[in-house]
Amino acid sequence: MSSITITNKNFQSEVLESPVPVLLDFWAPWCGPCRMLGPVIDQIADEYKDRVKVGKVNVDEEGTLAEQHGITSIPTLFLYKGGELAGQRNGAAMKHDIVALFANLI
Protein backbone atom coordinates (compact mmCIF):
# COMPACT_ATOMS: atom_id res chain seq x y z
CA MET A 1 0.00 0.00 0.00
CA SER A 2 1.44 3.32 -1.09
CA SER A 3 -1.01 5.67 0.60
CA ILE A 4 0.14 7.86 3.45
CA THR A 5 -1.61 9.03 6.58
CA ILE A 6 -2.38 12.73 6.43
CA THR A 7 -2.56 14.65 9.68
CA ASN A 8 -2.89 18.27 10.62
CA LYS A 9 0.89 18.27 11.20
CA ASN A 10 1.91 17.03 7.76
CA PHE A 11 -0.94 18.47 5.65
CA GLN A 12 1.09 21.50 4.53
CA SER A 13 4.15 19.52 3.42
CA GLU A 14 2.44 16.40 2.06
CA VAL A 15 -0.55 18.03 0.36
CA LEU A 16 -0.18 21.75 -0.22
CA GLU A 17 3.51 21.59 -1.12
CA SER A 18 3.34 18.34 -3.11
CA PRO A 19 4.87 18.48 -6.60
CA VAL A 20 2.28 15.94 -7.83
CA PRO A 21 -1.52 15.89 -7.48
CA VAL A 22 -2.78 14.58 -4.14
CA LEU A 23 -5.91 12.46 -3.72
CA LEU A 24 -7.23 12.62 -0.15
CA ASP A 25 -9.61 10.02 1.21
CA PHE A 26 -11.55 11.24 4.25
CA TRP A 27 -12.69 8.07 6.04
CA ALA A 28 -13.30 6.37 9.39
CA PRO A 29 -12.82 2.74 10.45
CA TRP A 30 -16.49 2.36 11.48
CA CYS A 31 -17.77 3.51 8.05
CA GLY A 32 -18.94 0.59 5.89
CA PRO A 33 -18.68 2.43 2.54
CA CYS A 34 -15.22 3.66 3.58
CA ARG A 35 -14.06 0.10 4.21
CA MET A 36 -15.42 -0.93 0.80
CA LEU A 37 -13.63 1.96 -0.89
CA GLY A 38 -10.35 1.40 0.97
CA PRO A 39 -8.97 -1.38 -1.27
CA VAL A 40 -9.79 0.68 -4.37
CA ILE A 41 -7.92 3.66 -2.94
CA ASP A 42 -4.96 1.37 -2.15
CA GLN A 43 -4.96 0.05 -5.73
CA ILE A 44 -4.91 3.59 -7.09
CA ALA A 45 -2.07 4.48 -4.72
CA ASP A 46 -0.02 1.55 -6.01
CA GLU A 47 -0.85 1.99 -9.70
CA TYR A 48 -0.27 5.75 -9.82
CA LYS A 49 2.46 6.01 -7.17
CA ASP A 50 4.84 8.03 -9.33
CA ARG A 51 2.19 10.41 -10.65
CA VAL A 52 -0.31 10.91 -7.82
CA LYS A 53 0.14 10.95 -4.06
CA VAL A 54 -2.68 9.25 -2.17
CA GLY A 55 -3.37 10.19 1.41
CA LYS A 56 -5.92 9.03 3.96
CA VAL A 57 -7.43 11.27 6.62
CA ASN A 58 -9.10 9.48 9.51
CA VAL A 59 -11.86 11.93 10.44
CA ASP A 60 -12.06 10.58 13.99
CA GLU A 61 -8.39 11.35 14.61
CA GLU A 62 -8.13 14.49 12.47
CA GLY A 63 -11.33 16.36 13.25
CA THR A 64 -9.72 19.72 12.56
CA LEU A 65 -8.81 18.75 8.99
CA ALA A 66 -12.27 17.30 8.43
CA GLU A 67 -13.87 20.48 9.72
CA GLN A 68 -11.61 22.69 7.58
CA HIS A 69 -12.73 20.72 4.52
CA GLY A 70 -16.40 20.86 5.48
CA ILE A 71 -16.72 17.09 5.70
CA THR A 72 -20.30 16.18 6.58
CA SER A 73 -20.37 12.65 5.19
CA ILE A 74 -17.79 10.01 4.42
CA PRO A 75 -16.19 8.72 2.36
CA THR A 76 -15.30 11.99 0.69
CA LEU A 77 -12.43 12.43 -1.75
CA PHE A 78 -10.58 15.68 -2.35
CA LEU A 79 -8.04 16.30 -5.09
CA TYR A 80 -5.32 18.91 -4.71
CA LYS A 81 -2.91 20.14 -7.37
CA GLY A 82 -0.36 22.86 -6.80
CA GLY A 83 -1.72 23.48 -3.32
CA GLU A 84 -5.20 24.24 -4.65
CA LEU A 85 -8.39 22.22 -4.49
CA ALA A 86 -8.92 20.75 -7.97
CA GLY A 87 -11.81 18.33 -7.42
CA GLN A 88 -14.08 16.60 -4.96
CA ARG A 89 -16.31 13.52 -4.84
CA ASN A 90 -18.68 12.45 -2.07
CA GLY A 91 -19.63 8.85 -1.38
CA ALA A 92 -18.27 5.55 -2.57
CA ALA A 93 -17.27 5.41 -6.23
CA MET A 94 -15.99 3.05 -8.86
CA LYS A 95 -12.27 3.04 -9.55
CA HIS A 96 -12.63 4.56 -13.02
CA ASP A 97 -14.68 7.45 -11.60
CA ILE A 98 -12.00 8.19 -9.01
CA VAL A 99 -9.23 8.04 -11.62
CA ALA A 100 -11.27 10.46 -13.76
CA LEU A 101 -10.87 13.05 -10.97
CA PHE A 102 -7.15 13.33 -11.65
CA ALA A 103 -6.61 11.79 -15.10
CA ASN A 104 -6.36 15.18 -16.82
CA LEU A 105 -3.91 16.48 -14.20
CA ILE A 106 -1.14 13.89 -14.63
Could you list the active site residues? 31, 34
Residue type, 57: V
Rounded CA separation 14/95 (Å): 23
CA 104 to chain centre: 17
Evaluate whether 21 touches 55 at the Cβ level (below 8 Å).
no
Q: Could you give phi then psi for residue 89, rounded to 5 degrees?
A: -145, 130
